[in-house]
Amino acid sequence: MDKLRVAMIGAGPRGMSHVRSIAGAPNIEFVAVCDIDEEVGRPVAEEFGVEYVSSIDALLADYDIDGCGICVPTPYHYDTAMQVIEANRHLVTEKPMAKSIAQAWEMMEAAESRGLQAAISYQLRFGPVYLKMKEICEQIDPLQVLFARQRPMMAAKYLSAEPFDGIMDFISHDIDMIPFLAGREPKAVFATMGRNVWADADAIEYMGCQIELGEGPHKTVGVISSSMGGGGVPQRLDVVGKNGVAVATGNDIKFAVGPNPTEKGVIRDFWNATFTGESRDFTADLYRHWADACLNDEVDLAPAASYRDGYNALLVSLAMVESGESGEVVDLEEFAEANS
């Protein structure tokens, strides 16, 4: 088998990015588009010259496929993914992984026990800026990671009171990125957030959070700052490591690798290196890599986010909301136990 046979479930606005990625991947054969809304799904299937299917049951029963992309609304990720997993098909699922950590845990266990390649669509991990930041982080031992991404108001469909909606949907990428860069496990969170600032929908509209990662005397602190009231504010990603610093502003990175001078007032040789990445949708890179991992046992799914990464990100995300509501620090192990 030199091409993975793949169908797309959910052909809404975000699903189209998956569709284009599947259709364009040299190691994927695009088989079908499944959407319960025929007016959405059929034209997409016709445009790409593949079959249109109206139900997941029919897709899984009648089509010879090895894997599926899933891009249905978040409340339906669990049911859809479990159907695909129980039919022993590999899958890429949109973020956030599910509505609850109990659901995400079950999805992860089910996929892992069947040996399926199950990825979460955290496509930023394939962006050259983030891959370069990851490489730098491996050299500098991150102690502080600050990720600040502001944006304008989100679409009405995300403005709900659900803890995975509002700005939490947008920053699920940031929540995945901090442990990815730090290379350490998140342990606890403390958050401050607000609802009903710009719209009366009870959605979380701004979020500031501190995440503690790792153990021992030199823990890493991750900070996320994001809102839907800061459209136009440049995004920042700053990392201060034991052995260097790196700053990404948009697609440009400036960094210095080397020991922190211990003499008073002396700074490292700023900035002795730069890198510029490109800006585009990296979903295509994610699909190509996932298909490679499905086709070849020797290809690791990383740097794609696995279901385990998706579970961890959802755990942190829901704990942030709990902390934002209670005003207390949330220990992730205790939170996971209480909510599984």
Ligand X SMILES: NC(=O)c1ccc[n+]([C@@H]2O[C@H](COP(=O)([O-])OP(=O)(O)OC[C@H]3O[C@@H](n4cnc5c(N)ncnc54)[C@H](O)[C@@H]3O)[C@@H](O)[C@H]2O)c1
Asked whether 175 and 191 are in contact (CB, 8 A), the reply is no
- The CA–CA distances, whole Å, from 221 to 105, 183, 314, 323 equal 25, 12, 18, 16
Stretch binding ligand X (CB under 6 A), from 68-76, 185-193, 315-323, 327-335: 68-76
Nearer to ligand X, 169 or 292 (CB): 169
Please state the closest distance from residue 175 (CB atom) to ligand X, in A.
Answer: 13
The verdict on 63 binding ligand X (CB under 6 A) reads no
The span from the CA of 40 to the CA of 18, in Å, is: 15
Q: Is 73 in the site for ligand X (CB under 6 A)?
A: yes
In angstroms, give the least distance from the CB of 338 to ligand X.
Answer: 25
- Residue among 84 and 116 whose Cβ is closer to ligand X: 84
DSSP string, 204-243: EEEEEEEEEES-SSS-EEEEEEEESS-TTPPPEEEEEETT
Shorter beta-carbon distance to ligand X: residue 115 or 231: 231
Q: Is 71 in the site for ligand X (CB under 6 A)?
A: yes
Smallest separation (angstroms) from ligand X to the CB of 53: 9
Q: Does 75 bind ligand X (CB under 6 A)?
A: no
Q: Under the criterion CB under 6 A, does residue 9 sit at the interface with ligand X? A: yes
Count helices and strands in the chain by DSSP H and E runs: 11, 16
Does 83 bind ligand X (CB under 6 A)? Our answer is no
Give the DSSP letter string of 159-188: -SSSTTSTHHHHTHHHHHHHHHHHTS-EEE
Q: Which stretch binds ligand X (CB under 6 A): 21-29, 65-73, 107-115, 135-143?
A: 65-73
**Smaller CB distance to ligand X: residue 11 or 137?**
11
Alpha carbon distance 287, 311 (integer Å): 20
Please identify which residue in 21, 103, 117, 121 interacts with ligand X, judged by CB under 6 A.
121
Q: What is the number of other CB atoms lying within 10 angstroms of the CB of residue 242?
A: 12
CB of 270 to ligand X, least distance (A): 33
**Is residue 176 part of the contact set for ligand X (CB under 6 A)?**
no
Helix (H, G, I), strand (E, B) or coil at 289: helix
Cβ proximity to ligand X: between 35 and 285 the closer is 35
Size of the site for ligand X (CB under 6 A): 24
What does R_g of the chain's alpha carbons equal in angstroms? Answer: 20
Q: Determine, following the binding rule CB under 6 A, whether residue 310 of this chain makes contact with ligand X.
A: no
Please provide residue 160's backbone torsions phi and psi, each rounded to the nearest 5 degrees. Answer: -125, 165
Q: Which residues bind ligand X (CB under 6 A)?
A: 9-15, 34-37, 40, 56, 71-74, 76, 80, 94-95, 121, 123, 169
